[in-house]
Amino acid sequence: MATTATADTGYNKEYSSENSGTGTHTHDHAPINGAGPNANNSAAARGYDYGGNPLAHMNTGESARFPAFGGEFQPGLYKPTTERRFANPAPLGLSAFALTTFVLSLVNIGTAGVTQPSIVIALAFGYGGLVQLLAGMWEMAVGNTFGATALSSYGGFWLSLAIVLTPGGFEIVSTYGAEGSGINDFNNAFGFFLMGWFIFTTILLICTLRSTVAFFMLFFTLDLAFLMLGVGHLRASSAGVPNSACIKAGGYFGIFAAFIAWYNALAGLADDSNSFFVIPVAHFPWSVKGRERRSKTDHETL
């Protein structure tokens, strides 16, 4: 697949891709910069613009800004990475987060009678923790502050959770069960831990309000998962048992978050070179991309 650019005056460049094997020639998603030849695209051509992977074919125009895209973990307009020498780290981080969250959430729901989260320790150390943390570090390399903050932080979350759950070695849980401590001391402390992550996720959620529906829903469902799990431990019974209804609710929200994370990861992986379809990514009407589409529609009706 070769990428060619047609020079344009002012701020814009029109980018297109040409399949060297078939000779077909198709236009890619245009960056948002408000002027130039792409501003007058026909309605029929825009009908195929699902907001898919905007970097499937890279736009190297210095003034180009791509719309928010969960597959790149970008909640707002962003510059493409020019002369990229390494891959997009966002799908890796999203996949690591999704799989680890999915397994833990199944345990929280009590699927197949499994209630002990010991199996999650391996995932939390190796995949959700280490791999996601590395993906966050690579997000720093591409200049994505939001992606670096989110992926690195949740990688740290999984590592810290694995430390808490590891039996014997760190003795965190057993310390709270020592003589002289209250029966719910660990539940309350773990509830504080989860509520802190609820607050952090709320901060990230605010930054996705002008992005895409799938990107927003990822943090919205994750936020509710942390809230329900935190409340479940803070409202434990006098026997030291967490509130089962809240824990299960947190588990269901966690499963939703896992599948939405996988959806965003697939959106970042799939393009016309490796997939028969592009993943639809819906932008909010009040986002920059949504306002641009609405203004073009209004212009055509005049």
What are the pLDDT digits (tens) for 24-64? 433 344 444 444 444 444 444 443 344 455 544 344 445 45
Taking the CA atoms of the chain, what radius of gyration do you get in angstroms?
A: 23
What tokens does 194 get?
């989860």
Q: Who has greater pLDDT, 234 or 3? A: 234
Give dist(CA 114, CA 209) in Å, integer.
36
Predicted TM-score (pTM) above 0.85 = no
Q: Who has greater pLDDT, 248 or 27? A: 248
Tell me the domain boundaries of the chain.
90-269
Beta carbons of 194 and 233 less than 8 angstroms apart: yes
Tally of CB atoms within 10 A around 88: 22
DSSP string, 46-113: HTT-----TTSS----TT--BPPBGGGTB-S-BPPPTT--S--SHHHHHHHHHHHHHHHHHHHHTGGG
Give dist(CA 262, CA 150) in Å, integer.
16
pLDDT digits (tens, 9 = 90+) for 143-165: 888 999 999 999 999 999 999 99
pLDDT of residue 133 exceeding 60, the answer is yes
Alpha helices per DSSP H over 144-287: 145-165, 172-176, 185-206, 213-234, 244-269
Chain-centroid distance, C-alpha 291: 23
Band the pLDDT of 240: cuts 50, 70, 90.
very high
